[in-house]
Amino acid sequence: MGRDIHVRIVQLNRETNQYEEVVLYRKNKQGEMAPVYAYDARHYELFEILDGDNCDYFPYIPVYTENLPSRLKEEIEECKDIDGYYNFYEANLADIKIYLHNHPKVRDYDWDNEDTFEKEGWKDNPVKYFIECIERYLGIADVWWFGEQFDSNIRIIYWFDC
C-alpha cells in the first residue's frame, strides 16, 4: 500500500495578518499553468514520523482550516471527502527544525551488522531532507524578503493518501 505525502505551505503576510499559500507554477504538457508543490512523494520512514508513528515527538497538530486561504481550504475539504485521504496535519517550520535539532538521527533498520547495530545503526533523520525540500521551495518562491520572514510564520500543511 502506498502512502503519498502531500504538502502545502502557507506564510503569514505581516501587512495583512492573513495566511497566503506559497505556490509555484510550471507549464504542463498541454501548455497550461499547473502548480508544483514542495513535496508530493512517498517516503515510508518520513511518513511514520509525520504521522506520529515514531516514538519521538513530532510537533504536528490537526490542520486548522479557518484561517487558510480559500483555495487551499477548499482543496483540503474536497480531499477529506475522498476515500483514501487521511490525517490532515500542520506544523510550523520553526517547530520542525527544533524537532530535527533534538532528533538528528534515527534508527537504520536496514543496518546489516547486528553486532554494531546499537553503536552504528543510525542514519540522518529523513526530516532533514524534508526541511531541505521546503527551504529550496521557499527560496525559489523568494519568501524571505531581506531576512524578515520568520520560520514560525511558515505553516506546513500535509496529509496522506493510500
pLDDT digits (tens, 9 = 90+) for 18-65: 999 999 999 999 999 999 999 988 888 899 899 987 666 899 999 999
Give pLDDT, residue 30. 93
Read off the pLDDT of each residue in 125-132 and give the average, rounded to a whole number.
95
> Domain residues of the chain, as ranges?
4-161
Give pLDDT, residue 26. 94
Confidence of residue 5 (pLDDT cuts 50, 70, 90): very high
CA dist., res. 101 & res. 108, Å (int)? 18
CA dist., res. 67 & res. 64, Å (int)? 7
